[in-house]
Amino acid sequence: MNAEETSVWEKIDKARLPKHVAVIMDGNGRWAKKRFMPRIMGHREGVKTVDKIVTLAREIDLKALTLYSFSSENWNRPTSEVNALMSILKEYLIKEKKRMVDENIRFKTIGRIYELPKTAVDYLYDVEEATKDNDGTTLTLALSYGSQVEILDAVRSIGEKIKAGQLEPKDITGKLFSNELYTAGLDDVDLLIRTSGELRISNFLLWQIAYAELYFTEVYWPDFSGLEFLKAIQDYQKRERRFGLSGEQLAEPVDGGVVGDIGDADIIPD
């Protein structure tokens, strides 16, 4: 961390860090356009920001970081841009594999990965395999990902199990449904960050952000620094997370704690 980042980090309550931060990395193209550069230069600059934020997440022992890297709708972009993005993805994996292994980062992907070019899929699975035993920060890239499709895939999977007699409709709970999503095994999102000033979710982790705090910033992703990331966490810690309770209930003591101090409680409705 630099001096500015350290100054903000010292003011953050280390005991109340979000467990899972998700980021919609937006604004690469507009960043490049403002500088009269090709869009792809914005994407390349954005990868440098990924490096910085992943490094910081590891330094502060963040449990999970999920980055919206390529949506299912992004396939509609010009072929040249899609091909360039796939090349950048492969370059990133080749460059960062050793660092993730050495720095105890566990790498995962979510989405319809099979829709990506085979060479990209091979690199993704190679890094996943190399880091599978790491137990530090879990870095997840959402690729060819769309939350509505994810939910439909989960419904189809549950339907097939019911059809096969492996499951009864009455057994379907929120927890069971979560375990059918691409993100099975990850905590639900505590903090969702979107860069570039857009105020929408864009089909990202719709189930998983049910109780997330949302943080929007005007900063384009290539300019999003470690300082900006820490400011988002600082803002998160100012929020009163109610999980459907009232402010008065949060303040009521319960068995030595408070109602709002739910820890690892399952807040998904069953």
Domains and CATH numbers, the chain: 17-148+187-239 (3.40.1180.10)
**What's the predicted TM-score (pTM) here?**
0.88
Range with lowest mean pLDDT among 21-25, 202-206, 247-251: 247-251
Question: In this model, does residue 256 exceed pLDDT 70?
Answer: no
Let me know: does 201 contact 209? Beta carbons within 8 Å: yes
Kindly indicate the confidence band of residue 261, based on its pLDDT and cuts at 50, 70 and 90. very low
Q: What's the pLDDT score for residue 250?
A: 57
Catalytic option among 13, 28, 74, 188: 74
Backbone angles phi, psi at 136, to 5 degrees: -90, -145
Catalytic option among 26, 28, 188, 190: 26
Q: Could you tell me which of 177, 124, 175 has the C-alpha nearest to residue 153? A: 177
| Residue 74 annotated as catalytic | yes
pLDDT in tens, 118-173: 999 999 999 999 999 999 999 999 999 999 999 999 999 999 999 999 999 999 99
Distance of alpha carbon 57 from alpha carbon 64, whole angstroms: 8
